[in-house]
Amino acid sequence: MKKHFKTALCALTTIASLAISAPAFAQVAVKDAWIRATVPQQKATGAFMNLTASKDTKLVGASSPLAETTEVHEMRMDGDVMRMGKVDSIALPAGKTVELKSGGYHVMLMGLKSPAKEGDSVPMTLTFEGADKRRENVEIKVPVRALTSSGAAPAQGHGGHKH
């Protein structure tokens, strides 16, 4: 009787690294997000938040079921005139907290399908792009508030900017 030996090239149990692939954009922390409450007939409002990326990243877009159009905006003084417009992206340098706030960068919700009421929570998708050009969406829920965090309440969307 012969024994047949099978070569036991068995599972060279690769101990390493199957499990480790960190999600590319778990690195952007979104904090203190809020949307400014609207009054009836008001068709646009802003969303504000603090973003901190652990690697160089950009905010390249946003969307929300509350609005027909959602854009990344910047407000700035041009001489004496406050201007606001769409920007392609907001740079989020590694480790630096970038504030989206009244008078600066913000996410603009336009063509509101219903008013943003204080106490509501609005779903929003933020699109980030890493240095490698890969994009990833991050879903957040954004509470609606009537006032800015500083207590100043610019009445209408992008109105009340003062120096």
Q: How far is the CB of 133 from Cu ion (least distance, A)?
A: 26
Q: State the residues that interact with Cu ion by CB under 5 A.
A: 73, 84, 108
Q: Which is nearer to Cu ion, 25 or 72 (CB)?
A: 72
Q: How far is the CB of 141 from Cu ion (least distance, A)?
A: 21
CA distance 112 to 158: 15
Ordered alpha helix ranges (H), 7-162: none
CA distance 38 to 144: 9
How many CB atoms lie under 10 A from the CB of residue 11?
6
Of 141, 127, 142, 140, the C-alpha closest to 25 is 127
Q: Which is nearer to Cu ion, 27 or 38 (CB)?
A: 38
CA distance 77 to 104: 10
Q: Which is nearer to Cu ion, 108 or 142 (CB)?
A: 108
Q: How far is the CB of 107 from Cu ion (least distance, A)?
A: 8
Q: How far is the CB of 42 from Cu ion (least distance, A)?
A: 13
Q: Which is nearer to Cu ion, 56 or 104 (CB)?
A: 104
